[in-house]
Chain A
Amino acid sequence: MIEFTLEGVRENTIMTATTAPTTAIRPFRPEFSDEELAELRRRISTTRFPEKEPVDDNSQGVPLAASQALARYWADEYDFGRLEERLRAVPHFMTEIDGLDIHFIHVRSPHDDALPLVITHGWPGSIVEMLDVVDPLTNPTAHGGRAEDAFHVVIPSMPGYGFSAKPSETGWDVPRIARAWAELMNRLGYSRYVAQGGDWGALITEVLGAQAPDGLAAIHTNMAGALPPEISKALATNVLGAGDPAPTDLSDDERRVYDRLNFFYTKGVGYALEMGNRPQTLLGLADSPVALAAWMIDHDAWSLEDIRQAFVEKHPVGNLNRDEVLDNVTLYWLTNTGVSSARLYWENKLGFFDFKGVKVPTAVSVFPNEIYPARREWAEQAFPNLMYFHQVGEGNHFAAWQEPGIYTNELRAAFKSVRTS
């Protein structure tokens, strides 16, 4: 008889306080056991790989050489203690919101009048994406900024991600997460705050901006939902390659954006479609560390190439180096959240890049290697109260993670007018 162990609640890491009221905020300490780290390493070392792809580029997915280089570094050189150490450098908390335990990092700035800021990560990201911006944002004078640039920073883990609990029923979609963040900021005593995000974090931040709860002063997005409806429709109906052609009235610049998105929709978005429809079928993400890693680094063509370079040519682009990438994958593995994180796609009913009906003042930073670079004219339509729009020089989809310096400067500049108003 074979016994199967279910990876359930991580009792060793969650400090339960059964007598506390449900709005209590409990300290939380990330902790990984030697046994689970050894098991992870064992699994990486015994990976069974498929044969090499029959192409010389990334066009069939994560190349065998890249996944093997990743597995080799992960098993042989990666410091399995570093994730816990990095995480413990910041204060973590847990609080129950809307029936679910929500994990978050909360760092108050030494400058008391700092602007409270909630930052939301995306998929395949986590709080690891934001670890290197916490200090520059909270303690700007130590990082080339001024005291009046300071933020109090709150970085929650989305439901089903990282140390937050995994929903056991349906309904944790983007609007519900946004409402939970408003409650979180309220519970932390922030009566006036701003919000920021990319990827799912952008959707959550923008939907929060549409909900416009009391206290939300403004938002910043680095993946703006600013795709005009007629373009969005043409792209969405072309997923199987049979939709209408691009709208004919596009300018050359707009056409370039359209072509880039069309490539993503027809050649790159397969993982999102599968997660959107069959997340539970992706058992390989729970059972195989290399499968999880490959699935996660194949987010989009631009970031995959950056990460491939980091592992194969040992030439990271920006801060997105091997250790950063593996810290994030290791967190997913140790929390067994490959499938639970995928469910957010199943829950979602919103167009990734569609207008979300944002009402509050909005700031947009456009990183050049994002899935699509939002155009200012489009952003002006999407965000009636557009207070800041800036195209930066470097960076891909993982803006905060890859270019923490640029990202920090953007947030300082973007929210400047909110502080003085």
Chain B
Amino acid sequence: MSTITQSAVDIRPFHIDVSDAALENLRQRISATQWPENETVADQSQGVPLAAMQNLASYWASEYDWRNVESRLNALPQFMTEIDGLDIHFIHVRSRHEDALPLVINHGWPGSIIEQLKIIDRLVDPTEYGASASDAFHVVVPSMPGYGFSGKPTSTGWGPERMGRAWAELMKRLGYSRYVAQGGDWGAFVVDWMGVQALEGLAGIHTNMPGVVPADIDKASLAGEPLPDGLSADEQRAYAQLIRTYGQVEYAKMMAARPQTLYGIADSPVGLAAWLLDHNDAKGQPAGAVAAALDRSASDTDELTRDDILDNITLYWLTNTGVSASRLYWEYHGGFFNVKGVSVPVAITVFPDEQYQAPRSWAERAYPHLIYFNEVDKGGHFAAWEQPQLFSEELRAAFKTLR
């Protein structure tokens, strides 16, 4: 083995250090925003309302402090390693329980590693949160290529399949010969494609946005056709939710077609913020939990707050990853909620405010090796971020049989 190859697999410690100048420039840009006029409706049907954006921008420029989340991130062990030609950033926290189950958690769009910050300690150190030592995980949270502090691809080809292979290499490089994987949003696509490829060492996956829609239903819902015959009540509900969701994914269509044209999310902080806020869930567009967070300055129960939302947006801004993150949509041709052909053991948690609630009947057909299926009573598209305690409990239960 040559020394060059040796150095390429090096795992380097990583520390976030944003300059004061970058933060000052951000504040200046927010303060100098040129706004459009008010929307012509009294609701969110034309996009993120002007008043909400102006309130958020005012707080962002004058009171919000990035250094808080920077300290929280830097308190976690972070690393960088080159995989498949690209620098991959990741958080890696080993449990003090040596026989903990290694777990790689994959964020989505418009998310980042910040989505996972409230679950890491719960998963790594379960006895501090009312669970037992046998529930412990060693947790790895990578930033997807083009996201956060990972490198930005300079050539095409970094879709979820390739990311899945990169995560398998990452886990191997960390010395984990047997591990599980978890994800929602793009993270769900990545773990599904890891499961399709049945990558070496992958013992099972958990998804909070499963791809279970049968092919004929998938085609009909994408084309906006009326409700097909012969569906159960759960399936009919899911079909209606899919139709609604496909009417709320224009942002995805734009990013899939023309990511490079989105210069406004590189040059304008409020342009970026509005774009990232406008992801739907079952409660609305923007997502209900996100809209509620904009009015919440603190939460004793770890619900989303305004600072959480701005932590994530500011990370996108400081890394200038609005456009590079969008390219993942351009790269992908694999369908949203269709059956991907996963062969490994699969666990599913259905959160009520997710874009659609996967019916058990479809899940059993989509995932031949379904080891866990549970419908919980709260939480939405950003499950780990919105409901960290419940989400952690779900992962403990979901993977119990794989230990």
Residues of A within 8 A of B (CB): 1-2, 4-8, 47-55, 60-64, 67, 166-170, 237-244, 266-271, 273-274, 276-288, 290-295, 298, 336, 338-340, 343, 346
Which stretch from B132-140, B147-155, B353-361, B388-396 is at the chain A interface? B147-155
Check B320 against A280 for contact (C-beta < 8 Å).
no
A298 to chain B, nearest CB (A): 4
Question: Could you list 27 A-B pairs, sorted by A, with CB under 8 Å?
Answer: A2-B62, A51-B320, A51-B323, A51-B324, A54-B153, A55-B156, A60-B260, A61-B259, A167-B40, A168-B38, A237-B224, A238-B223, A242-B218, A242-B222, A266-B257, A271-B261, A274-B254, A278-B48, A280-B39, A281-B275, A283-B268, A285-B264, A287-B270, A288-B268, A291-B264, A294-B261, A295-B261
Residues in B with CB closer than 8 Å to A286 are: 34-36
Q: In the complex, are the beta carbons of A278 and B223 less than 8 A apart?
A: no
Q: Is B271 an interface residue (CB 8 A)?
A: yes
Q: Is the pair A284, B250 in contact by a Cβ cutoff of 8 Å?
A: no
Majority secondary structure, A binding face? loop
B61 adjacent to chain A (CB < 8 Å): yes
Q: Give complex CA distance A7, B249 in Å.
A: 30
CB of A65 to closest CB in B, whole Å:
11
The stretch that binds A, out of B51-59, B179-187, B289-297, is B51-59
Contact of A168 with B264 in the complex, beta carbons under 8 Å: no
Report which of A1, A5, A294, A343 forms a contact with B263, defined as CB distance below 8 A: A294
Complex: how many Å from CA A47 to CA B263? 9
For A282, the chain B residues whose CB sits under 8 A away are 47, 264, 271, 274
Tell me, yes or no, whether B37 is within 8 Å of chain A by CB: yes
CB contact under 8 A between A270 and B37, given known A4-B54, A4-B57, A240-B246 = no
Bound CA–CA A49/B223 (angstroms): 36
B260, A62: Cβ atoms under 8 Å? yes
Closest CB-CB distance, B247 to chain A, in whole Å? 8
- The reply to whether B268 and A284 form a contact with Cβ atoms under 8 Å apart is yes
| From B251, B264, B323, contact of A288 by CB (8 A) | B264
| Nearest-neighbor residue (CB-CB) of B266 within chain A | A50
Assuming A52-B154, A54-B327, A281-B47, is B264 touching A62 (CB within 8 A)? Answer: no
Is B322 at the interface (CB under 8 A from chain A)? yes
Known contacts A4-B33, A287-B264; decide if A278 and B47 are in contact (CB<8 Å).
yes
Docked pose: A77 CA to B12 CA in angstroms: 46
Q: Can you name the residue of chain A whose Cβ is closest to the Cβ of B320?
A: A50
Closest Cβ–Cβ distance, residue A35 to chain B (whole Å): 13
In the assembled complex, B248 has its CB within 8 A of some CB on chain A: yes
Q: Do B250 and A276 touch (CB < 8 A)?
A: yes
B250 touches A47 (CB 8 A): no
**Cross-chain contact A7 with B266 (CB below 8 angstroms):** no
B267 pairs with A271, CB closer than 8 A: no
Asked whether B267 lies within 8 Å of A166 as measured between CB atoms, the reply is no
Bound together, the chains give a CA A54 to CA B159 distance in angstroms of 13
Does B401 sit within 8 A of A, measured CB to CB?
no
B218-260, CB under 8 A of A: which get 1 and which 0? 1100111100000000000000000000111111011111111
Pair A291/B327 contact, Cβ less than 8 Å: no
Which residue of chain A has its CB nearest to the CB of B157?
A54
Bound Cα distance A268, B258 (Å): 8
Contacts of A5 in B (CB 8 A): 34-35
Expressed in whole angstroms, the minimum distance between the Cβ of A43 and any Cβ of chain B is: 8
- Residues of B contacting A169 with CB < 8 Å? 40
- B31 is an interface residue with CB less than 8 A from chain A: yes
B50 CB-CB contact with A under 8 Å: yes
| Complex A-B, nearest 4 residue pairs according to Cβ-Cβ distance, in ascending order | A284-B264, A284-B271, A291-B264, A280-B47
Q: Which residue of A lies closest to B28 (CB)?
A: A46
Given contacts A2-B61, A170-B41, A278-B46, contact A284 B265 (CB under 8 A): yes
Q: Is B278 an interface residue (CB 8 A)?
A: yes
Within 8 A of A (CB), among B172-202: none
Determine the chain B residues whose CB is within 8 A of the CB of A269 once the complex forms. Answer: 253, 257
Q: Closest residue to B46 on the A side, CB-wise?
A: A280
- Bound CA span A268–B249, Å: 15
Q: How many residues on the B side are at the interface (Cβ–Cβ under 8 A)? A: 70
Are B155 and A54 interface neighbours, CB within 8 A?
yes
A54-B154 contact in complex given A278-B46, A280-B49, A285-B264, C-beta closer than 8 Å:
yes
Chain A, Cβ-Cβ closest to B258: A61
Question: Which B residues touch A267, using CB under 8 A?
Answer: 257
Whether B83 sits at the interface, judged by CB under 8 Å, is no
Do B265 and A244 have beta carbons less than 8 Å apart? no
Which A residues touch B62, using CB under 8 A? 1-2
Residue contact B324 to A50, C-beta cutoff 8 Å: yes
Contacts of A277 in B (CB 8 A): 47, 247-248, 250
| Beta-carbon contact of A273 and B254 below 8 Å | yes
Residues of B within 8 A of A2 (CB): 30-31, 57-58, 61-62
Of A7, A60, A293, the most chain B CB neighbours within 10 A belong to A60
Q: Which of A7, A237, A266, A268 has a CB less than 8 Å from the CB of B35? A: A7
Choose one: A63, A238, A338; the contact of B260 (CB below 8 Å): A63
Q: Does any Cβ of A come within 8 Å of B90's Cβ?
A: no
Q: Are the C-beta atoms of A61 and B40 separated by less than 8 Å?
A: no
CB distance from B255 to the nearest CB of A (A): 8
Q: Mark B48-90, 1 if CB is under 8 A from A, else 0.
A: 1110011001100110000000000000000000000000000
Q: Is the CB of A279 within 8 A of B46?
A: yes
Pairwise interchain contact A339-B61, C-beta atoms closer than 8 A? no
Please give the distance in Å from B30's CB to the nearest CB on chain A. 8
Please give, as numbers and ranges, the residues of chain B lying within 8 Å of A276 by CB-CB distance: 250
- Is B262 engaged at the interface, CB distance under 8 Å to the other chain? yes
Q: Which residues of B contact A168 (CB under 8 A)?
A: 37-38, 40
A280 touches B259 (CB 8 A): no
Across-interface contacts of B285 in A (CB, < 8 A): 278
B330 at the binding interface (Cβ < 8 Å): yes
Other-chain contact of A61, B33, B250, B261 (Cβ < 8 Å): B261
Knowing A55-B156, A170-B41, A280-B47 are in contact, say whether A287-B324 is a contact too (CB < 8 A).
Answer: no
- Please state if A8 and B263 are interface contacts (CB–CB under 8 Å): no
A6-B35, A50-B260, A336-B34 given; 19 more Cβ-contact pairs under 8 Å: A2-B61, A5-B34, A7-B36, A49-B267, A54-B155, A60-B330, A61-B260, A62-B261, A271-B258, A273-B250, A277-B47, A280-B50, A281-B48, A281-B278, A282-B264, A290-B263, A291-B264, A338-B36, A340-B37
1/0 per residue, CB under 8 A from A, across B268-302: the answer is: 10111111011000000100000000000000000
Interface centre among A64, A280, A288, A291 (most CB of B within 10 A): A280
Contact A340–B251 (Cβ < 8 Å): no
Chain A proximity of B110: nearest CB distance (Å): 12
Cβ 8 A contact of B323, one of A50, A240, A243 = A50
Complex-state Cα separation, A54 to B157, whole angstroms: 10
Are the C-beta atoms of A4 and B35 separated by less than 8 Å?
Answer: yes
Instruction: Name the one of A237, A274, A294 contacting B250, with C-beta atoms under 8 angstroms.
Output: A274
Contact of A284 with B251 in the complex, beta carbons under 8 Å: no
Q: Using Cβ atoms and an 8 Å threshold, which residues of chain A touch B272?
A: 284
Closest partner residue, chain A, to B48 (CB atom):
A281
Residues in A neighbouring B58, C-beta threshold 8 A:
1-2, 4
Given B154, B155, B254, B320, which contacts A270 in the complex, CB threshold below 8 Å? Answer: B254
Q: Which residues of A contact B271 (CB under 8 A)?
A: 282-285, 287-288, 291
Given A50-B263, A278-B278, A283-B268, the answer on whether A343 and B46 have CB atoms closer than 8 Å is: yes
Q: Which residues of B contact A8 (CB under 8 A)?
A: 37
A238 to chain B, nearest CB (A): 7
Query: Judging by beta carbons under 8 Å apart, are B35 and A274 in contact?
Result: no
